[in-house]
Amino acid sequence: MSDLNFDYALLIPEFILVGTAILIIMADLFRKELGLGRLVLPAIAALGTIAAGAASLAYIDDVDDFANVIAIDNYTTFFRVLFTVVLLVVVVSGYEYVERNIRHTGEFYALLLLSTVGAIYMAGARELLTAYISIELLSFSLYVAVSLAKTNPRSAEAGLKYVLLGGVASAMLLYGMSLIYGTAGSTQYSEIAAAFSGGTSEYGFALLLGLVLLIAGLGFKASAVPFHMWTPDAYEGAPLPITAYLSATSKAATFALLLRIFAGPLLPVIDQWQWMMATIAVMTMVGGNLIALQQTNIKRLLAYSSIGQVGYMLMAITTISDASASALLVHVAGYLITNLAVFSAVIAFHNRTGKEELDDFAGLAETNPYLAMVLTAGMFSLAGMPLLAGFVTKFILFQAAASGGYLWLATVAVIASTISLYYYLQVIRRMYLLEPARGESGRWRLSPAGYIATGTLTAGVFLVGIYAGPLFTVADRAARVLALS
């Protein structure tokens, strides 16, 4: 044991990420002097990410909670690995796009790395202020990254909307946290749980208001209906890799935080928030999937589809239990793989054509059958077809909800999931049944990085769909940290 108060070695993955970010900024500054090629920055980012992911694997089963502020345990490690994988995918599949469409590439990669640090600490936080500052680290990086597109005026608009609404949501979150702090007398999760388990009748309305504000603020970050207004605009205006990142890391990190809070300190007051969660879950599932039916832009379609997916995940928070916690982790992992497969295909498509309307996908099966296959697998998986990741993860998620006494919620989820099949099929119909636009019927190929990213992720979609056992085991070990009965 060292002489330090805490075992800071447990934070090495984040040290690596931050160090890589600073290295990238420095390399960007001296780009001309050092004669660096255009591939150097993404290469540094990718290597740093791989190193961080590998380093976090070294700490499986190690536990330290840094005076009850940040817990490094299997739960954190699960999300560490997940987030570094997402970051790697975004860097690899997006670097061509970034080269062409982003104003400041060095800053872009640095912000991505720093936001991943924020996401990891959102999963690890065991204290309200730490959770808050981590959310801000993730959000601030994304506010900037959303508005970095080179020529798209929508990008600046999206960034402005995101930052204004995000600021309001952060304020609500802080208000809620302060009310909970006032009632519990502490910001640490363990002490909040202890304070609330002794009964909370004397706080009544203040505690309820705190919970409402907390759920509203976090619901905004997760883009749950009715706090989803920013999502389609931000997704549409943002550069495509950032859209992918928003739909993956940003969502997963919010759910990591939600699960830790609602399965820990707020579990004793479950009667006061369960109905709110159930209401928001239903609105999000139904609303997201119904509005998605009318979309004509692939980014907006995927935005509303991701809102629908958030509804399913909120269902797991509502019916909180050991089974639904581990089901949520499985679903988050499966959703990330599937969504990233779809997004890396869309990025590859955009690199070739520069278009993102649904009608532009007409006849893709003719011009690039491989990409059409990847998109089809991804869309079917998002809709929850058997043999694909989406089916398995949704199945155990809905099963956990049903066996937790929320059969009606699971029924709504199944109906919403069936509705979603319609708009996913709309994309597939355009690719396979329609003719390509005139003069664009020639075959084309992806770049090697495109093949690697889409191929690996599609393989992952099938692997989770067919042989999900290892993922279940890992998620189970991570969820056991939460110590739900």
Partner 1 sequence: MLNRLPIPAQFDRIIVVGATIAVLGALPIAAVLIALLLLDELTAPEVVFWAVAALIVAGALGTVLLPNIVHAAVSLVATLLGVAGIYLLLGSEFLALVQLLVYGGGVTILLLFGLMLTRAADDPVIADGAQKPFAFGVAALIGGIFVAAVLDANWSQTDAAAIGIRDIGQRLFRDYGVPFEIASLVLLVALIGAIAIARSDQPEPEAAEAEEVTT
- Residues near partner 1 (CB under 8 A): 5-6, 11, 18, 25, 32, 66-67, 69-70, 103-104, 107, 110-111, 114-115, 117-118, 121, 127, 129-130, 133-134, 136-137, 140-141, 143-144, 147-148, 150, 159, 175, 179, 182-183, 185, 202-209
Residue 196: CB minimum distance to partner 1, A: 12
Residue 44: CB minimum distance to partner 1, A: 16
Under 8 Å between Cβ of 257 and 313: no
Residue 165: CB minimum distance to partner 1, A: 16
Q: How far apart are CA 36 and CA 23, in angstroms?
A: 13
Q: Is the CB of 119 or the CB of 396 nearer to partner 1?
A: 119
Q: Is the CB of 1 or the CB of 205 nearer to partner 1?
A: 205
Q: Is the CB of 60 or the CB of 209 nearer to partner 1?
A: 209
Residue 127: CB minimum distance to partner 1, A: 7
Under 8 Å between Cβ of 103 and 150: yes
Residue 148: CB minimum distance to partner 1, A: 6
Residue 107: CB minimum distance to partner 1, A: 4
Residue 80: CB minimum distance to partner 1, A: 15
Spell out the alpha helix ranges (H) of 185-297: 189-197, 204-222, 230-237, 240-245, 251-263, 270-292
Sign of CA dihedral 55, 447, 433, 304: positive
Residue 368 sits at φ, ψ, to 5 deg, of -150, 85
Q: Is the CB of 159 or the CB of 436 nearer to partner 1?
A: 159
The two three-digit tokens of residue 165, written as one number: 């609404």
Residue 340: CB minimum distance to partner 1, A: 23
Q: Is the CB of 193 or the CB of 419 nearer to partner 1?
A: 193
Q: How far apart are CA 177 and CA 358, in angstroms?
A: 42
Q: Is the CB of 162 or the CB of 349 nearer to partner 1?
A: 162
Residue 216: CB minimum distance to partner 1, A: 12
Q: Is the CB of 11 or the CB of 285 nearer to partner 1?
A: 11
Residue 481 sits at φ, ψ, to 5 deg, of -60, -35
H or E element in which residue 250 lies: none
Q: How far apart are CA 252 and CA 123, in angstroms?
A: 9
Task: List Cα–Cα distances, 227 to 210, 213, 253, 283, 296, in angstroms.
Answer: 17, 12, 17, 11, 22
Residue 96: CB minimum distance to partner 1, A: 20
Three-class DSSP labels, 304-362: HHHHHHHHHHHHHHHCCCHHHHHHHHHHHHHHHHHHHHHHHHHHHHHHHHCCCEHHHHC
* β-bridge mates for residue 72, sequence order: 64
Residue 210: CB minimum distance to partner 1, A: 8
428 Cβ partners below 8 Å, 6+ apart? 375, 376, 379, 380
The two three-digit tokens of residue 297, written as one number: 């832009």
Q: Is the CB of 142 or the CB of 329 nearer to partner 1?
A: 142
Q: Is the CB of 137 or the CB of 382 nearer to partner 1?
A: 137
Q: Is the CB of 208 or the CB of 421 nearer to partner 1?
A: 208
Q: Is the CB of 32 or the CB of 438 nearer to partner 1?
A: 32
Indicate the residue type of 5. N
Q: Is the CB of 44 or the CB of 315 nearer to partner 1?
A: 44
Helix (H/G/I), strand (E/B), else coil: 45:
helix
Indicate the residue type of 481. V
Residue 100: CB minimum distance to partner 1, A: 15
Burial profile 214-245: b = 16 or more Cβ within 10 angstroms, e = fewer = bbbbbbbbbbbbebbebbbbbbbbbbbbbbbb
Indicate the residue type of 76. T
Single out the residue of 217, 425, 220 nearest to residue 305, CA to CA.
425
